[in-house]
Structure formats: C-alpha cells, structure tokens
Amino acid sequence: MRIFLVSGAVSALGAGVPRGERLFFDYVEITRRGGARLWIENLTVAPQVAAILDVDTIGKFYFLSEGANNYLLGIERADGVQAFDPRDISIEDLRNLIEDT
C-alpha cells in the first residue's frame, strides 16, 4: 500500500460506472508540468470526489495504490475547490503520508 500525490491536469478519463456507493473508472490520465503523462488504472472514487473530477481538472490528486487497485482519496483543485473521501483519511493525514510522484 502506498499513498502518493500527483499534480497536474486530467487529460483523459474513462467513463464512471457505479459500484456500490462509489464510482469505478477504468483509467485516469494526468498530464504533469513539462508534458509527462501518468496513467492510473482500476480507479475507485467516492461520489464527493468524483463530483469535481473531470477532463481538464487542474490540481493535486491524492491516490492510494494497493496492488492492481487504486483509489482517488482526494482532490485539491487549482481553483480552490476540494473534495476528500470521508471514510478513508483526512487532508492532514494525506499531507503527512504522501510520496510525490
């Protein structure tokens, strides 16, 4: 298990499919400064976080990786809007545990 932070803009996003109380995305692609792209597959997202996740969203994205499964724990958008998965972790916990990617 690892928690990591990615800063950039969402450049591609698979369709969200409901799975229980959460949404599942096949993938999200984030373009970082300088043009490097990071592709994250098998992504589960809480509704609060999914509500502010869209192509062209710019900000900081907090992920939890557990083997082949990934979870988007929170977003801090560049425009100041934030959303975090309330069942998993607080923003303070995330900031203390992240690995910059």
User: Which conformational region is residue 48 in: left (phi greater than 0), alpha (psi within -120 to 50 degrees), or beta?
Assistant: alpha
Report the 10 Å Cβ neighbour count for 83. 20
Residue 85 binned pLDDT confidence (cut-offs 50, 70, 90): confident
Name, in order, each residue with C-beta under 8 angstroms of 21's C-beta and a sequence gap of 6 or more: 46, 47
- Scanning the chain, the segments in alpha helix (DSSP H) are 47-50, 91-97
| pTM, entire model | 0.86
8-33 pLDDT, tens digit per residue, is 999 999 999 999 999 999 999 999 99
Q: CA of 14: how far to CAs of 29, 72, 94, in Å?
A: 9, 14, 25
Domains in the chain: boundaries: 2-100
Q: If one looks up domain 2-100 in CATH, what number appears?
A: 2.40.50
pLDDT at 101: 47
User: Which of the four pLDDT bands, split at 50, 70 and 90, describes residue 43?
Assistant: very high
Kindly report, residue by residue over 46-70, the tens digit of the pLDDT: 999 999 999 999 999 999 999 899 9
